[in-house]
Amino acid sequence: MNKEAIDSIYSQVSIKDGKKAIENILLDIYFKPGISTKEIARKTLLPLPIVAAIKKEFIKTGLIEQNRGVNCTPRGMRFVEHTMGYGHLNRTLYQRLKHEPWHPDDLHDMMSKLEGVFENRPQVDVTIDQSRCTLETSLKRAVLALQHEVLIGRDIVCLGDDDLVSVSLAFLLKQLFRQNAHKSNTRIHVFEIDKRIISYVNYVAESENLPIVCYEMDFREQLPSEFLRRFDCVFTDPPYTLQGLSLFVSRGIQLLKQEIGLPIFLSFAHKSPDFALEMQREFSRMGLLVTSVLPRFNQYLGAEIIGNTSQMIVLQSTEETKESIARDYRDALYTGEVRRTIRAYECKRCSLVTEVGFQMQWQTIEQLKQKGCPSCRHDSFELIQKKNA
């Protein structure tokens, strides 16, 4: 049996919360045999009559039965385990990560193995607003997918992945499925403009047998049609400009299946109230619901300009969801393009002054330090002037 059973129930019951809500009810029954209808309603935040109607349709399909509470039938067990991908699952770990506050000790062995993977990833390219989140942050994002029931048996896409979220997702699946992540039926896609990141993720995926596929993609261009409306959730940590947010979230909407209740996990810098209001207006224009805002969720290495931290905003698709940018994008996007500042740095050894910034030979101070002073090759500088380009 495929997921047509879910589609059939969705067509029979008038529910505004999407197919995912129906799947979640079946999972609640699977993980807690004998659960009551009232408890299902309480867990899913759905009205009791709606839950009763969905339960009635599930009984008709032969997936559940009413017997000292609500239980999955053998057919229902096979559906959850094989069709939905929950067979061979480490249920103890899954339940602990889903229902209890997450702690690194829960995944200590996995984190130890990942330390080297994260330490050896390519250096950041600040001209495209890259910043490296910590290993713990990357894993927290993966656990967030589990908690929203979009980790197992799903199609996941990462729009940009210098934070190696795809790797954390896949390693978490290996932990949950006793080293065989492919048994989860999960497929992870990475769309990335940086060839170095693509090459590195491909190397890790091949070495560790991870269900990850990478594609080189510039989000300024229209997305290939074969990827549209294919995915169950989106992860993105876009440039921290309103333009970057609008473009990356719009591309995420284009990739999401046309269903209600699918999440976009958006990492974004903490901003001023005025900027945050503009963000909310943009979400509203795109028909997205903000379901939670988690301050200081993300921690970064060497990103002092944002205080080494950013928030996680969980967005959810609705009937009104639509992208605000559908075609090619040609305006300023990254922070350096939008602000267009030029900084003058004085070498601390020979006092040579070098300009750094938009469309200059060195666009960032990191690039200048790496090459060294043009005169004496010293790598220590002092900022002496800042002006608009």
Instruction: Give dist(CA 386, CA 355) in Å, integer.
Output: 9
- The span from the CA of 13 to the CA of 210, in Å, is 38
pTM: 0.85
Equal fold, 2-83 vs 91-317: no
Return the pLDDT at 242. 86
What gap in Å lies between CA 140 and CA 355, rounded to an integer? 39
Q: What is the pLDDT of residue 362?
A: 76
Which CATH topology does 2-83 take? Arc Repressor Mutant, subunit A (1.10.10)
Return d(Cα 119, Cα 195) in angstroms, integer. 18
Q: Return the residue matching tokens 């040609």.
A: 330
What local confidence, expressed as pLDDT, does residue 187 receive? 96
- Please report how many Cα atoms fall inside a 13 Å half-sphere around the Cα of residue 358, on the Cβ side: 15
The 10s digit of each residue's pLDDT in 165-205 is 999 999 999 999 988 888 889 999 999 999 999 999 999 99
Domain ranges (residues) in the chain: 2-83, 91-317, 340-388
Q: Which residues of the chain have pLDDT under 70?
A: 1-2, 127, 302-306, 334-341, 358-359, 363-364, 366, 389
Second-level CATH architecture of 91-317: 3-Layer(aba) Sandwich (3.40)
Q: Which of 180, 132, 181 is nearest to 156 (CA)?
A: 181
Q: Which two tokens stand for residue 259?
A: 């269903």
